[in-house]
Amino acid sequence: MAAGLLALHRPAVARGGREALRAIAASRGILYGSTIAADQVRVDDDFLALVRRECAVLVTENELKWGNICDAPGEYDFAPADAIVDFATGNGLAMRGHTLLWYYKTPRWFRDLPDAKTAERAMLDHIALVAGRYRGRMRIWDVVNEPIEPAHARADGLRGAIFAEKVGPHYLDLAFHAARAADPTARLLFNEYGVEYDSEADDTKRRVILRHLERMKRAGVPVEILGIQAHLEIAAKSFSARKLADFIAAVSALGIEVAITELDVVDAAAPGNIAKRDSMVADEYRRFLDVALGDAAVRTVFTWGLSDRHSWIVRRESGANTWRGDGMAPRPLPFDAALAPKPAWTSLSECLAGVVRHG
């Protein structure tokens, strides 16, 4: 059988008969993947073996963020990103580039540029150089990360700091056109958070995003995928299946695909008991994915890490509100730190497989 032949190259079934997430996802035409960091691909350990087996696509966690790779205009360090892209290519995995623009990781020298024209030139040069360097090697490029911030009270809903102020509100469209020119084959993604839950802030963000996507489509801006980050949180916020489903359907109606780009679950509000905590994390995965994967517009799913051994939440790089008060290690991802599948894995695999649970 074809599956048997493929298994010769990269076994899809683990010891004990567990099917790989990428294979489960692929059976429904969904691409599944995870973040990777350069220091993780340099050590050929059991974690890397798990990544190879579970993922069809990888995304750079930090290695392509402008502020991390460019201390001075035109001076770039691509070694960490190259290590990841080479690893992916060598193992037959697709790549997603994250991210050409993100206000939070923008070089200091860019912030200090004297005027809008100079800033626009620097932004366009950056996109041309980076997207051009990996031309043909990125399946997806995150062009902008977190461009919307209604709390900044601009009429257009754009995040004020930094690009809308420094370059001007037209930066968003320009960035997509520049990415398209630099790499005609990568699919171009607009990444956002704060649209997953049932709150007034999420309602507003969903509305503003839709307004921008509609406008961009009308103007012929090459935005092809909306990325929903999906950093979920137990018990912190309430969830509305209807609002999420309606939002995804509205994006899809514009001819834009949807990707889940950074899925993980903060367990700060859950009790220490591991069985209880893991089951609450798994419930949060399922609540969200049941709805998100219920819409055929969602073709791509990334978790922000694969195992609790390597997670920004465990490393306390996420906000202080996401850290556990009892000092216990958070358990946000499908596999535990010893690489054993957790109940979150069961939720993810069943939702990817299209298994519908009732009750």
Interaction site with ligand XIL (CB under 6 A): 61-62, 145, 229, 262, 312, 317
User: How far from the centroid of its chain's Cα atoms is residue 190's Cα?
Assistant: 10
Q: What's the closest the beta carbon of residue 359 comes to ligand XIL, in angstroms? A: 34
**313-to-16, 240, 247, 302, 309 alpha-carbon distances in Å:** 30, 25, 27, 16, 10
Q: What's the closest the beta carbon of residue 1 comes to ligand XIL, in angstroms? A: 39
| Residue in this structure with the two tokens 């903060």, named with its chain if needed | 266
Q: What's the closest the beta carbon of residue 62 comes to ligand XIL, in angstroms? A: 5
Q: What's the closest the beta carbon of residue 145 comes to ligand XIL, in angstroms? A: 5
Nearer to ligand XIL, 246 or 317 (CB): 317
Q: What's the closest the beta carbon of residue 34 comes to ligand XIL, in angstroms? A: 12
Q: What's the closest the beta carbon of residue 317 comes to ligand XIL, in angstroms? A: 4
**272-to-192, 314, 341 alpha-carbon distances in Å:** 30, 15, 19
Q: What's the closest the beta carbon of residue 305 comes to ligand XIL, in angstroms? A: 8
| Residue in this structure with the two tokens 């010769």, named with its chain if needed | 8
| Residue in this structure with the two tokens 């307004």, named with its chain if needed | 211
Nearer to ligand XIL, 24 or 36 (CB): 36
Nearer to ligand XIL, 61 or 308 (CB): 61
Residue number, nearest CB to ligand XIL:
312
Question: For residues 116 and 124, is the Cβ–Cβ distance under 8 A?
Answer: no
Q: Name which of 34, 117, 130, 27 is nearest 77 in CA terms.
A: 130
Return the structure tokens found at 143. 């062009």
Nearer to ligand XIL, 183 or 262 (CB): 262
Give the Cα separation of 65 and 358 in Å (integer): 42
Give the Cα separation of 56 and 179 in Å (integer): 23
Q: What's the closest the beta carbon of residue 329 comes to ligand XIL, in angstroms? A: 16
Give the Cα separation of 183 and 198 in Å (integer): 37
DSSP secondary structure code for residue 319 in this structure: -
Q: What's the closest the beta carbon of residue 254 comes to ligand XIL, in angstroms? A: 22
User: Where do the DSSP E strands lie in 55-209?
Assistant: 57-60, 70-72, 75-76, 94-97, 101-102, 140-145, 187-192
Give the Cα separation of 183 and 346 in Å (integer): 37
Nearer to ligand XIL, 262 or 290 (CB): 262
Nearer to ligand XIL, 332 or 341 (CB): 332
Give 255: exposed, middle or buried? Use CB within 10 Å, 0-12, 13-18, 19+. exposed
Give the Cα separation of 32 and 56 in Å (integer): 6
Nearer to ligand XIL, 193 or 239 (CB): 193
Nearer to ligand XIL, 192 or 290 (CB): 192
Question: For residues 206 and 243, is the Cβ–Cβ distance under 8 A?
Answer: yes
Nearer to ligand XIL, 106 or 349 (CB): 106
Count other Cβ atoms within 10 Å, centred on residue 17: 6
Give the Cα separation of 119 and 93 in Å (integer): 35
